[in-house]
Structure 1
């Protein structure tokens, strides 16, 4: 199974990277960086493919907000706080929020949709979004490329000691999720309050 997965990555790596980046894909970018490190991908092409994928994904979310306002308000009732928070961020910080939204936990899909709901200029959003996507892809892929040996060593250890790795990943992932959730709530309270 592992050989098949690696063969798919080697043969369809750029297609997988594009799709993964479109849907939200730091893990996909890290895998691309490791594949660049091992020589199975080209760094410039991986950055362009991932950047374009991230750009396309956020453009789709923006246009969902622009042309489906009623659907968003009806279907995403549970996300109302995040939409209100995204509007506050846009009002307070303007265009830089488009640039950094990829790094805001839990807000990556909400911010482009909420900006689409507003009268924000679509061309301006697209331009900032494109630059942001390229920077996001370059930073993540290059970091994974430079630390490729260490990341491969971690993967090797995790494969040999999966019985330790699985609980470790669950605990660390849960801790990171909890921490980011609390930080986001504190920022929301400061912005709203």
Structure 2
């Protein structure tokens, strides 16, 4: 069973990494770095998949905000908690916001739309988005890569296939739970701020 899962990850894992990094992809980026260290993915391919997903996701949401602001999908994103705050920050500090938006869990989807609806020029957004996506890729992919190294140091040898999967699963669960908690915390905070306003 573990061999089948391992083979599936080897064949389709990079596609899953790309798709996951289009939205909130911290977990996928960390797992990509971990599996790159373990030789499941070719390292440069893993980091490229993370970068393209991160860059492409924000570019797509920017395009939605810029060209399709009246569509139901975008209207739903605009009604999410935190959108008004994101739009206000985007208006006041556009460059800093585009670079830092992806690091605030739960803001990334609404942030891309807010950027698209703002007055920032598309070429400027693309450059800033590329810089931000590159740094984000190196940070979270690097964390996963270091996890891979640390796991080997703890176990004392190259990880076997089933150990790779178990460690990868543990990483995914821990990061996913941390992200869920952070998203819930920031959503409640945004709602509280909105009620006060």
Q: Distance in 1 between matches of 2:177 and 2:15?
A: 32
Q: Which runs of 5+ in 1 are unaligned?
A: 163-167
Cα-to-partner distance string for 1:19-72 (whole Å, 9 max, x where unaligned) = 221233111111111111112223333222211111111111111111111125
Q: Which runs of 5+ in 2 are unaligned?
A: 156-161
Aligned to 2:55: 55
TM-score (norm 1): 0.77
Aligned to 1:78: 79
Matched, 1:26 2:20: no
Q: Describe how 1:1-150 pairs up with structure 2 within 5 A.
A: 1-71=1-71, 74-76=75-77, 78-79=79-80, 81-150=81-150
The answer to whether the Cα contact below 8 Å between 2:91 and 2:118 also exists between their aligned partners in 1 is no
Q: Provide the secondary structure at the position in 1 that maps to 2:142.
A: helix
Report the CA distance shift for 1:66/1:42 in structure 2 as closer, same or farther (over 3 A): same
Q: Root-mean-square deviation (CA), in Å?
A: 3.5
Deviation at 1:125, TM superposition (A): 0.6
The answer to whether the Cα contact below 8 Å between 1:34 and 1:148 also exists between their aligned partners in 2 is yes
Deviation at 1:149, TM superposition (A): 4.6
Deviation at 1:174, TM superposition (A): 6.2
Report the CA distance shift for 1:170/1:61 in structure 2 as closer, same or farther (over 3 A): closer
Deviation at 1:150, TM superposition (A): 4.4
Aligned residues: 183
Q: Distance in 2 between matches of 1:178 and 1:32?
A: 25
Q: Provide the secondary structure at the position in 2 that maps to 1:70.
A: coil
Report the CA distance shift for 1:25/1:174 in structure 2 as closer, same or farther (over 3 A): closer
Q: Is the deviation greater in 98-107 or in 66-75?
A: 66-75
Q: Distance in 1 between matches of 2:101 and 2:62?
A: 13
Q: Distance in 2 between matches of 1:184 and 1:150?
A: 37
Q: Distance in 1 between matches of 2:147 and 2:175?
A: 19
